[in-house]
Structure 1
Amino acid sequence: MIAVLGSFFTAVEIARLAAGYPAAVLGVPGVIFAFMLSRRPGGEPVLEKLGSAAALSVFAGASVWIGSQMAGHPVIGGAVFVVLMAGSIWARRFGAVVTRLGAMVPLALIACLLTAGSGTGHVSWWPICGWMALVGLSAFVWVRVVRWVAEKLTGVAGPQSPQAPAKRSPQRPGMSTSTRMALQMAVALTAAFSFGHLLFGEHWQWCVISAMVVSLGTVGRGDLALKGVERGLGAMAGTLVATLITVVAAPHGTTSIVLIFVVLALASVLRSYSYAYYAAGITTTLSLLYGYFGESAQHLLLIRLQALVLGAVVAVAVGWFLVPVRASDALRARLVMTLGALGSLLEARHNGASTAKALAAFDDAANRLDSSARSHRLHRAAAQKLGTGYGTTPADAGEALLATRRPVHALAASEPGPRERATAKTVGLLRRALSAPADPLPDLPEPAPTAPLADLDAALRQFAAAIPALAKHQPPKAVESSEALQPPVSTT
């Protein structure tokens, strides 16, 4: 939130002193850029940081033009929006660096939706696009500087970008995962734009925002369905909360601006408990922002709820039926990624290198795995309730690997020992076993006798016992590289 406030006040000063625009025209995008960037992992090389900063500046400036086209030429603006969003997802096939650079596209496009719906889309796109590019660069600098200072003061590394695998896994036959997800996004957004303009008139943005947010960070049909439900429930709650707030607080006053920052902070904290809380907070923020620009939350309550629910339904339906990404594929890819992060951590300890970034990368991989395991966890619980759940399930594999988090953190706080090489060998064997879960497991090294390494070895052996449960979902070839299955940015 320090970075968000810094970006906001910098953008306001740019608007007031240099550009001569109303403060909200640049201040609101400054908040959006910084808030969404703060959820993006770091740890990339310096040259890539500079490339990301330049990419965000360019896309931030371009978002003004797209917003102006959406106001006057909705077909042209919507088409450009869909192409850029789908293209940023399709480009993931070219590796981790292109994936992270493409992650700047959604940041600018979400700001563009807000610009188009706030009435500022009618502002002449030049020279404001240049000032918007400067606001985007300012937000990037604020986030990175605040994160760097926090890491120096606390010694705790922030979220790290997943490292590219040394050897890419062979892709399964047919359409690649990145192409599938890009096609799903293009169709979902096209439908959301069409339904939005046909059914909700000048309030079409809510349908598009909902469809984009539900589709953006999901991998696999199970994750998509869960996020769609959470998005719908959270959006309804957030819209109701925003309506209540406008009853007691003037929508155009300073109190409303303060409440926006408070709600953003609460949304960030509550996300770790449930995405529904986060969706409620973001929807409340958007409602307050639109209220600041003159839209009545009370009069538009029903329209917003209908548009939000329709957008979520569209995203789930498209992702479920159009070239779907199987939930088991997403789970297996993230199992591989988490094991790879664990192997990198053990290797760093063996080489005497700093483990702060490796531990942060492992935590990030485990969080992604937990997201993919949620649908399997619910399916297992439902099957057990109905009396049809027997034996080991894919959810057990995810749970067993997630159980390594506590011993891994305990191990990271201890001195390296020679026995860790056997554990590293176990991790390597399990990674290879995931490519052919139906094959007999190799003999694993003997577990360590003392904690925390003994606890880690025990959790890995539980994971090994659950690997055969993945066999019935095994594709014809090894699962696609986990890079293609990464969400573009942890903004939603």
Structure 2
Amino acid sequence: MAVVLPAFWSMMHLRTWLAVPVDAVVFAVMLALALPRGLARLRPGELPTALTALGAGTAAAVGCGMLLDHADWRRALGAAAFTAGVAIPVWARRFGTRWRSAGTMAALPFMAILVHPLPLASTWDFLAWMLLATAVATAWATTPRAGEGRGAAGGATAGGWRRAASTRMAVQLGAATLAGFAVAQWLDPDHLVWPVLTVLVVHSGNRNRGDVLWKGTQRVLGALAGTVLATVATGWAGPGDSRGIVAVFAVLAVASALRDLGHAFWAAGLTAALAFLYGYFGQTGTDLLLHRLGGILAGGAIGVLAAWAILPVRTSDTVRARIGRLRAAAAELAATSSHSMPSARATSAAANTRPAAPHDAPAAAARARLRDAERELALLEPTVRAGARLGFGSARRLADAISEARMIHCGQLG
């Protein structure tokens, strides 16, 4: 919220002097919600490339949003372009961390553009306002950063297109997004956001089909609860009532505080905030609630089904690959440390000339790679532990393997 509130304040102040569209204000708030986490994953030197990708992604996402607001063949074209816009960044992860970071930033505006309470104007002026909203959100998101973040370890993914997990996940997301648009067009052509947004939320930050099932189920349940509660609560704040806007930020603040406790809390907060926002613009009622719930359930089912039926990424394969990466990083650190240890005579001579550095550069780099490998393996543990608690024997074995690998190799980190 340290970024969201200043971004909202800035856009509202601009509205007192300029004819800033409401959709640009909402767009800035949605970007401000997502940008801090995206920026935190950047490695040193990646910020310029990431910001360039964010600007390009904004222009592309706004163009898709303009097409989607039409009811003719342009909507189909917009759905296809939107699908490419969210799937290509996932596929680009296979080319290394710089492409991963740029792809993450380019994809953020596509989720944000889905949330627009008023029709998007198909004009160059409107595109300029949306780019300004991106600049405002980015300025506030980068201001509190004391230093550069660190991305995940890894480089280009080897192997053919069928063996690359990023390629398979891109195909899954693309198919699920297209299906989400089709279902939304069938359920409620006037409100495409709920099935498609749910698909994107279910697939967000996942690494294998087990992740999609476990986290996706939590997110769908949270989204259902948040939508029901907020839609019912909008009765006390009618259209245009400023209390509805206060409720949006209050819900987002609570969801942000509870985000690390479970995926359901963030999904509930996000969908509740959207329901309050739409209620402020007069979109409420029992019929609309039923459409929202149907869209969320359909989007969740589509997202999980795509991950399990289309080129699935097995959880066991992901765990074994990351354990192997952890072992390789640990072996590299051990070898680097042994090579960098000087002899007693050299140490004595060096002590008379200069103080010995505690870690040389190769050892420090190897230690950083081991730390990144451990962090990436730890991200898989909640899903595997959940499977073990549900009684899956293979999940128990994978959980034991993760614990053993982290205990043996991460002792080197001290």
Into which bin does the TM-score normalised by the smaller protein fall? Answer: 0.7 to 0.9
Q: Does residue 260 of the first structure (1) align with residue 264 of the second (2)?
A: no
The equivalent of 1:37 in structure 2 is 35
Q: Which amino acid aligns with 2:204?
A: L
- Hey, what's the Cα distance between the residues in 2 that align with 1:391 and 1:262? 38
Instruction: Report if aligned partners of 2:388, 2:396 keep a CA contact under 8 Å in 1.
Output: no
Greater shift after overlay, 296-305 or 307-316?
296-305
User: What is the RMSD of the two structures over their aligned residues, measured on CA atoms?
Assistant: 3.3
Q: In 2 relative to 1, CA 124–170 (structure 1 residues): closer, same or farther, beyond 3 Å?
A: closer
Q: How does 1:100-139 map to 2 (within 5 A)?
A: 100-115=101-116, 118-121=117-120, 123-139=121-137
Structure 2 SS opposite 1:201: coil
Q: CA deviation at 1:401?
A: 4.8
The equivalent of 1:396 in structure 2 is 400
- Hey, what's the Cα distance between the residues in 2 that align with 1:358 and 1:270? 34
Q: CA deviation at 1:170?
A: 4.8
Q: Which runs of 5+ in 2 are unaligned?
A: 338-356
Q: Which runs of 5+ in 1 are unaligned?
A: 152-157, 409-422, 428-452, 454-492
Q: CA deviation at 1:305?
A: 0.8
- Hey, what's the Cα distance between the residues in 1 that align with 2:395 and 2:187? 48
- Hey, what's the Cα distance between the residues in 2 that align with 1:360 and 1:263? 37
Q: In 2 relative to 1, CA 390–241 (structure 1 residues): closer, same or farther, beyond 3 Å?
A: closer
Q: Deviations over 1:11-46 (max 9, x none)?
A: 23344424x134x22211111111101122244233
The equivalent of 1:12 in structure 2 is 12
Q: CA deviation at 1:57?
A: 2.1
Q: Which amino acid aligns with 2:168?
A: R
Q: CA deviation at 1:60?
A: 1.8
- Hey, what's the Cα distance between the residues in 2 that align with 1:249 and 1:227? 32
The equivalent of 2:88 in structure 1 is 87
- Hey, what's the Cα distance between the residues in 1 that align with 2:168 and 2:34? 25
- Hey, what's the Cα distance between the residues in 1 that align with 2:229 and 2:395? 44
Percent of matched pairs sharing the same residue: 32
Q: In 2 relative to 1, CA 237–351 (structure 1 residues): closer, same or farther, beyond 3 Å?
A: same
- Hey, what's the Cα distance between the residues in 1 that align with 2:403 and 2:205? 21
The equivalent of 1:74 in structure 2 is 75
Q: In 2 relative to 1, CA 106–345 (structure 1 residues): closer, same or farther, beyond 3 Å?
A: farther
Paired residues in the alignment total: 389
- Normalised to the residue count of structure 1, the TM-score between the two structures is 0.70
Q: In 2 relative to 1, CA 358–29 (structure 1 residues): closer, same or farther, beyond 3 Å?
A: farther
Q: Which amino acid aligns with 1:111?
A: A
Q: Which has the higher contact order (CA 8 A, sep 6+)?
A: 1
Instruction: Report if aligned partners of 1:214, 1:231 keep a CA contact under 8 Å in 2.
Output: yes
Q: In 2 relative to 1, CA 270–333 (structure 1 residues): closer, same or farther, beyond 3 Å?
A: farther
Q: CA deviation at 1:196?
A: 0.9
Q: Does residue 161 of the first structure (1) align with residue 143 of the second (2)?
A: no
The equivalent of 1:379 in structure 2 is 387
Q: In 2 relative to 1, CA 234–392 (structure 1 residues): closer, same or farther, beyond 3 Å?
A: closer
- Hey, what's the Cα distance between the residues in 2 that align with 1:35 and 1:344? 38
The equivalent of 1:457 in structure 2 is none
Q: Which amino acid aligns with 2:389?
A: A
The equivalent of 2:25 in structure 1 is 27
Q: Deviations over 1:448-490 (max 9, x none)?
A: xxxxx5xxxxxxxxxxxxxxxxxxxxxxxxxxxxxxxxxxxxx
Instruction: Report if aligned partners of 2:61, 2:82 keep a CA contact under 8 Å in 1.
Output: no
- Hey, what's the Cα distance between the residues in 2 that align with 1:253 and 1:345? 60
The equivalent of 2:309 in structure 1 is 321
Q: CA deviation at 1:390?
A: 9.6
- Hey, what's the Cα distance between the residues in 2 that align with 1:345 and 1:196? 51
Instruction: Report if aligned partners of 2:152, 2:376 keep a CA contact under 8 Å in 1.
Output: no
Structure 2 SS opposite 1:38: helix
Q: In 2 relative to 1, CA 81–43 (structure 1 residues): closer, same or farther, beyond 3 Å?
A: closer
- Hey, what's the Cα distance between the residues in 1 that align with 2:292 and 2:157? 44
